[in-house]
Amino acid sequence: MHEVDSVARPADAVVSAWFRARRGIGEGDRGQILELLYALLQHHARLGWWLLRHGREDVARNRLLAWLALKEGRTPDQVKLLFDGSKFAPSALTAQEHALLVKLQGGAIDHAGMPEEVRLECPAWAAGPLRRRFGSAFAGEMAALLTPAPLDLRVNPIKAMREAMLGALRDLGLAAQASAIAPHGIRLDERVSLARLPMLKSGEAEIQDEGSQLVALLVDARPGERVVDFCAGAGGKTLAIAAQMNNKGHVIACDVMEGRLKRSAERFRRAGLHNIETRLLASETDKWIKRHKAGFDRVLVDAPCSGTGTWRRNPDARWRAREEEGLDNLVALQARILASAARLVKPGGRLVYATCSLLLEENEEQVAAFLAAHPAFRVVPLEEAAPGLAASAHGDHLSLTPARNGTDGFFAAVMQREASPPGEAANGPNGP
């Protein structure tokens, strides 16, 4: 827990590195450690509130003690037996720690005196924007973000069919069902070791939330087209797009992080997809973009964002320093990325802007500002772009939340480049 708090990396990356350095830990113990860690992250604000109430420092060890007392109902003497300083046990309790356990004994994790944002684990930087987004639905949406996320798979149609994959998963003793909307999606509602899923190693399936699958579906890439995934990251949506194209045409996966592109290339190979090229960009205004302006049928901009829609999967992301980074700075970066990527879209082509955010500032308002500055583009209403997803619309856009849709929170807008108005260059009013 201390490493997750002190290292500027996502919790899953920190945990993976920690386990790699401790290969002797068995699978059962690993599962228990992970479960405890994510429970502590999901209760971060409430545990901190209790520690502040009793004048204790909000550090990892104190949070663990508070969890054992408030959530597991352990007495001070029971905790003392766990913290005995032996080889594989935490160091012995101090007198101050024992006193804290005495004060917490008999309490519960939730308390009537907690502010609503604390009880719902909503960080201060996000409370205002999320209340503005959801209004009276705020509490229900925040509560949904505290529920366990399911494990969603996307079947790779280049290598397998969904019905056969469902049968293979059920043969492994897993309760698998077809996703509600995504045509290649499968949902597993139970916790499962990924080592039990051979289809991940063979490239027949990938882990991908159903909401993410639907965003990729909106790109509507056709065989033979030229497509750019502008912020490809680990390549999940790139894989789905290339499979839509039946391995025909050309997909370019771009990113500014070389390590991500190298890891994604291995995923592409495993999936049997050979119509993908990776392209490292120096920045969102890399010279490659100007050289290839108006050259692509489809461009996806899965922009870096606050990640508010993924909090049930990544609870540590709530507490990373957005106040210091600044939401305004993030919104400005998204605007620059979107404007630059738009130059790649040819007349008649489509630009899809997406985030895993729930905030208006990063979503609807970002799109409105882009359209105001780029009259060559128009929104394609969701009922026109993807009639099957119309029920998930918020205005003209795709808008998914855990409370409403059972997916991670995702936003996507489909825009089409029309013929340029007189006096406007093909790359927009802002020039190249």
> What is the DSSP track for 181-250?
S-TTEEEE-S---GGG-HHHHHTSEEE--HHHHHHHHHH---TT-EEEETT-TTSHHHHHHHHHTTT-SE
Q: Which of the four pLDDT bands, split at 50, 70 and 90, describes residue 13?
A: low
Q: CB atoms < 10 A from the CB of 289, how many?
A: 23
For the chain, the straight-line distance linking the first and the last C-alpha, in angstroms and rounded, comes to 47
- Check residue 432 and give its pLDDT: 38
Which residues of the chain are in CATH 3.40.50.150 domains?
210-417
Pull the structure tokens for residue 350: 């489509």
Predicted confidence band of residue 101 (pLDDT cuts 50, 70, 90): very high
Q: Which residue has the higher pLDDT, 149 or 424?
A: 149
Q: Per residue in 144-181, is it b (16+ CB within 10 Å) or e — as a string?
A: bbbeebbbbbbbbebbbebeebbebbeeeebebebbeb
pLDDT score recorded for residue 12: 63
Q: What is the pLDDT of residues 218-227, one digit of tens each?
A: 999 999 999 9
Query: Which pLDDT score, from 0 to 100, does residue 431 have?
Result: 44
Residue with tokens 């300083």: 85
When pLDDT is averaged across residues 411-420 and rounded to a whole number, the result is 90
User: Are the C-beta atoms of residues 142 and 116 closer than 8 Å to each other?
Assistant: no
Assigned fold of 210-417: Rossmann fold (3.40.50)
Give the model confidence (pLDDT) of 21-49 as tens digits. Answer: 666 666 666 777 788 888 999 999 999 99
Q: What is the pLDDT of residue 33?
A: 78
What is the chain's Cα-based Rg? 24
Report how far residue 82's alpha carbon sits from residue 294's, in angstroms, rounded to the nearest whole number: 64
Cβ pair 264, 238 in contact under 8 A: yes
pLDDT at site 422: 46
Q: Please, where are the H alpha helices in 228-386?
A: 236-244, 258-270, 287-291, 322-325, 327-342, 364-373, 382-385
- The pLDDT tens digits of the residues spanning 183-231 come to 999 999 888 888 889 999 999 999 999 999 999 999 999 999 999 999 9
Q: Indicate the SS3 state at residue 88.
A: coil
- Minimum mean pLDDT among 165-179, 306-320, 322-336, 413-427: which range? 413-427
CATH 3.30.70.1170 residue window(s) in the chain = 151-207
Which positions are catalytic?
356
Given 3.30.70.1170, 3.90.245.10, 2.40.50.100, 3.50.50.60, which CATH number is that of 151-207?
3.30.70.1170
CA angle, 383 then 386 then 387, to 5°: 50
